[in-house]
Every structure is written in structure tokens, then in C-alpha cells.
Amino acid sequence: MEGLKEFSPRLMIVSDLDNTMVDHHDPENISLLRFNALWEADYRHDSLLVFSTGRSPTLYKELRKEKPLLTPEITIMSVGTEITYGDSMSPDKGWEEVLNQGWDRGTVVKEASRFPQLKFQVETEQRPHKVSFYIEKTKSSEVINALSKRLEEHQLDVKIIYSGGIDLDILPQGAGKGQALAYLLKKFNSKGKSPQNTLVCGDSGNDAELFSVADVYGVMVGNAQEELLQWYEGNAKSNPKVILAHERCAAGIIQAMQHFNLDPNVSPRDIVGLSQTGAKYFLLGHEIVEFHLLCERWRRAEVEDSNEIFQRFKSAIDPNCSLLHPWGVEENLFTSIDVLRQCYGDQKGKQFRIWIDRIRPLKISLDIWLVRFDKWELIERERRCCCTTALLKVKPDAPNSLSWIHIHETWLDGCGSSTNLCCSI
Ligand code: GLC
Ligand code: MG
């Protein structure tokens, strides 16, 4: 299980993507960015993020290009039929073998093709253990019943799932998002790495079985689909570990963390002005997230153009801090940060966002951290990623603060920002 931590995760979030983590009605992705900041500041270093989507690997990758999604440790795709680990997304072969048992894809396709009401979805969504169609709501129950009967006659034990009032998936009986999660939990348990808490999050029919997994907290987001709400009425209403949020999508996930006292649960993006200095759950994560968030707000003119605010940047940088550019030039960041002063408001009213992904910390001495992370920038419709390695040191006179002592940046588009320093901070 490459990419996994060596210890029991403090929290494992298992979230659906479309209309749960991602709000397709919010072009600015406000709640997703709020979640991202919370996760990277307080959870990335000791918890597990799992995405569980109906999408195939192809459509999942498309979504990653469109939306500011974090990189999860585990990706479950194609309605719980494909499990992959780490950044390289290496597949869980054991799970494929489990699903092969008693599965006869050819017969499923042949029998389903007899129903003209079922329209095949695109080729990318037809997967080794998933056959997918569209069908109108009004015709769905009748077709599902008739199709189940026919498949039973062939001694085929399958699972038929209806989602979003339009999608119909046929999977092996042992597949699905809930079964995939149960399989993972069993695997963790056998290695003595069970998560301390698990929160599952969803909005539609294919998420229902996530809420039946033993001992998990669950949130159905405020915009949940009719078929999931019906399932809730019949199956989960009396379960105090499952809530119906009133907030939409990722905001509903944060609401659930607050409801179940999964701490911390306040996103750095929800803190107005400068965050309080003082004990933070994970000082390093907070420094990285808050420093860049302030940079975003400074350039969007969402904070005051004052000495006090600017001082927040300056005081975080060690007077000898060097910034090493990909083309080999090294500059003193403490002096060059002054350029940022003139950038105040240069992105006002524009689509400009900065978010951090994959914070990977390594404590190299009592007071020094070596950390790697990806800094993403969105400027209007253009998105760029900067792989960053940095050294930060606990301030001797203020043990609740860190200062940056070295930063090495590699912009993935190769061009960097030689002319505009503030883009490279
Ligand atoms: C995603 C998949 C689709 C599936 C649906 C519901 O949209 O792309 O194939 O039917 O989820 O599970
Ligand atoms: Mg969904």
C-alpha cells in the first residue's frame, strides 16, 4: 500500500467527488478551497484523504484538471470497482481478484442490451467490473426489477445501483463504494493501522452503502439527491453517526466535522484578517497555508493595505532566507519580498487563487523542518503548479511561530516568474 503513512491515521475522510467535494454550481470553488486549506493545515501530515467516485480513471483525471482538488492518498474509482494508492495510482490487484469471482461481464452486457430504455454511457465509463447506462427516472424501477430477474436466471449475482436520477451501474455483488471501503478498513486493521475516526461523505445513490459501513461517521451533504434522501429515511434516520447537512458540498463536510467534534474544524480561509498567534494543531501546516493565503488576499485586496499586515510577511522570513529559482539564481527573499508591497490589489476582482497540496514534512532537528509541497496558482483561467522545497525554523523568541530560512521552487510549466517576484513567493 504505497503512499500510506506508517501509523494509524487520526482521521480518514472518504468522500465522493461530484456534488459532494466538488460543487458544480460554484465556479469559484469557495467551499472546496475552504476544505483544502483546513486539510493541508491540520490533517495532511497524520490523516488520510480518500476520494471515492463513480468516475473512471479517465473522467477522474479530467475533473482534476478542471477543479482545485487535493491529491488523495487513496483513489477509489468506477463506483468502488477500482482502488489505487499514492500519487502514482498503483492499482490494488487483490481487489481486482475479489471482484472477478462470479462475475461474467459478457452476459451482463448481453442481457442489459435487451432493454431499449437503457442507453449505454460513453466507452470510458465501461470498465472491467462496471457496466453503465443512462435511464430516465420514470422507467428506472420497472427496468431494474426486470433486469435483476433476468440476471438471476443466469445465476449472476450482481448489484444494480441508480444514481443522480439518471445513471444506472451494474457491478459484481461484492463491489460498490461501501464494499471497497470495508475491504480497505479490513486491510488497515490487519496491519494494525485502523483510522481513529472515519468520516464518509456523499450526495447520491451510489454513496448510500458508504453509510452502512460499521463504525463510521457519515454526512449526506445539503444538496443530496432524492434517491439518497429516501434511503436515509428508510435506513439511517435513527443512526446518530449519520447526519444530513444543511450546507452544500464541501461546506457540508466541514459542518459534519464540527457536528461530530472532529477537531480542528475551522478552515484558515474562514479566519478574517491575521490569524491569532498561539498554539496551532500543526504549526508547520498552518504557516504554509496561512502565508500563501495572505499572499492571495493581499493581491486580491481582501486585506487592508497596511504596515501591520505587510509585517506578517516580513516577520515570517528570516533575514538570510534565500529563494532559489529553477534557473539557478539565488536571491535574498527578505529584501526582495518588498516587491510584494507594490502588488497589493493587482488581482482585485479577478479570478486569482492560491492553494497548497501534498504538504510532506520532515523534522530534521529539534527546531527545523524540511518540507515539500505543491503550490498551485490560478490566474483567470490559467493554472500553474510550483513544486516547492523549503526549510523552516521555530523562532527562538516565539516558539509558536516559524520563519522561512530557505525556499527552492520548480515551476512545472518551466517558465517560473523571473520578471515578477511576487508570483514566485
Ligand atoms: C459517474 C460515472 C458514471 C456512473 C455515475 C454514477 O458519473 O462516470 O459512469 O454511472 O458516476 O455512479
Ligand atoms: Mg456525487
Instruction: Check if 127 has its Cβ closer than 6 Å to any atom of ligand 1.
Output: no
Residue located nearest, by CA, to atom 4 of ligand 1: 54
Instruction: Check if 135 has its Cβ closer than 6 Å to any atom of ligand 1.
Output: no
Which residue's entry shows cell 482502488? Answer: 83
Which numeric CATH code is attached to 103-172?
3.90.1070.10
For a ligand 1 pocket test, name from 22, 125, 144 the mutation site with the most ligand atoms within 8 angstroms of its C-beta.
125
Residue located nearest, by CA, to atom 10 of ligand 1: 167
Give the pLDDT confidence score for residue 2 in this predicted structure.
58
Specify the fold of 11-90+176-268.
Rossmann fold (3.40.50)
The DSSP bridge pattern shows strands 90-91 and 382-395 to be: unpaired
Ligand 2 centroid–CA 20 distance in Å is 6
The DSSP bridge pattern shows strands 317-324 and 242-244 to be: unpaired
Give this prediction's pTM. 0.95
Residue 235 falls in which region: left (phi positive, over 0), alpha (psi -120 to 50) or beta = alpha
For a ligand 1 pocket test, name from 79, 131, 140, 209 the mutation site with the most ligand atoms within 8 angstroms of its C-beta.
79
Residue 121 alpha carbon, nearest atom of ligand 1: 9
Ligand 1 centroid–CA 136 distance in Å is 15
The DSSP bridge pattern shows strands 368-379 and 352-365 to be: antiparallel
Which residue's entry shows cell 461517521? Answer: 217
Residue located nearest, by CA, to atom 9 of ligand 1: 125
Q: What's the N-to-C CA distance of the chain in angstroms?
A: 34
Instruction: Check if 121 has its Cβ closer than 6 Å to any atom of ligand 1.
Output: yes
Ligand 1 centroid–CA 313 distance in Å is 45
Residue 206 alpha carbon, nearest atom of ligand 1: 12
Q: Cβ atoms within 10 A of the Cβ of 240, count?
A: 7
Q: Where are the beta strands (DSSP E) in 221-276?
A: 242-244
Instruction: Check if 208 has its Cβ closer than 6 Å to any atom of ligand 1.
Output: no
Give the pLDDT confidence score for residue 320 in this predicted structure.
94
Instruction: Check if 52 has its Cβ closer than 6 Å to any atom of ligand 1.
Output: no
Instruction: Check if 82 has its Cβ closer than 6 Å to any atom of ligand 1.
Output: no
Give the pLDDT confidence score for residue 425 in this predicted structure.
42
Instruction: Check if 49 has its Cβ closer than 6 Å to any atom of ligand 1.
Output: no
Residue 167 alpha carbon, nearest atom of ligand 1: 10
CA of 223, nearest ligand number: 2
Q: In 3-state terms, what secondary structure has residue 248? A: coil
> CA 380 to CA 228: how far, in whole Å?
36
Ligand 1 centroid–CA 69 distance in Å is 18
Residue 264: asked if its preceding bond is cis (omega within 30°), the reply is yes
Residue 133 alpha carbon, nearest atom of ligand 1: 10
Ligand 1 centroid–CA 176 distance in Å is 12
Residue 59 alpha carbon, nearest atom of ligand 1: 8
Give the pLDDT confidence score for residue 417 in this predicted structure.
47
Residue 168 alpha carbon, nearest atom of ligand 1: 10
Four-way CATH pick for 271-411: 2.40.10.480, 2.60.40.10, 3.30.365.10, 3.10.450.50: 3.10.450.50
Instruction: Check if 59 has its Cβ closer than 6 Å to any atom of ligand 1.
Output: yes
**Domain locations in the chain as residue ranges:** 11-90+176-268, 103-172, 271-411
Q: In what order do the strands lie in the sheet with 158-163?
A: 119-120, 131-134, 167-172, 158-163
Give the pLDDT confidence score for residue 273 in this predicted structure.
77
Q: In 3-state terms, what secondary structure has residue 273? A: coil
Mean pLDDT per 10-residue interval, the chain, length 425 residues: 77 98 98 98 97 98 97 98 96 97 96 97 98 97 96 94 95 98 97 97 97 97 97 96 98 98 97 79 96 97 96 94 87 92 96 98 97 96 94 94 95 56 42
Give the pLDDT confidence score for residue 415 in this predicted structure.
54
Ligand 2 centroid–CA 16 distance in Å is 6
Instruction: Check if 169 has its Cβ closer than 6 Å to any atom of ligand 1.
Output: yes
Triad 205, 123, 149: Cα angle to 5° = 50
**CB of 165 closer than 8 Å to CB of 206:** no
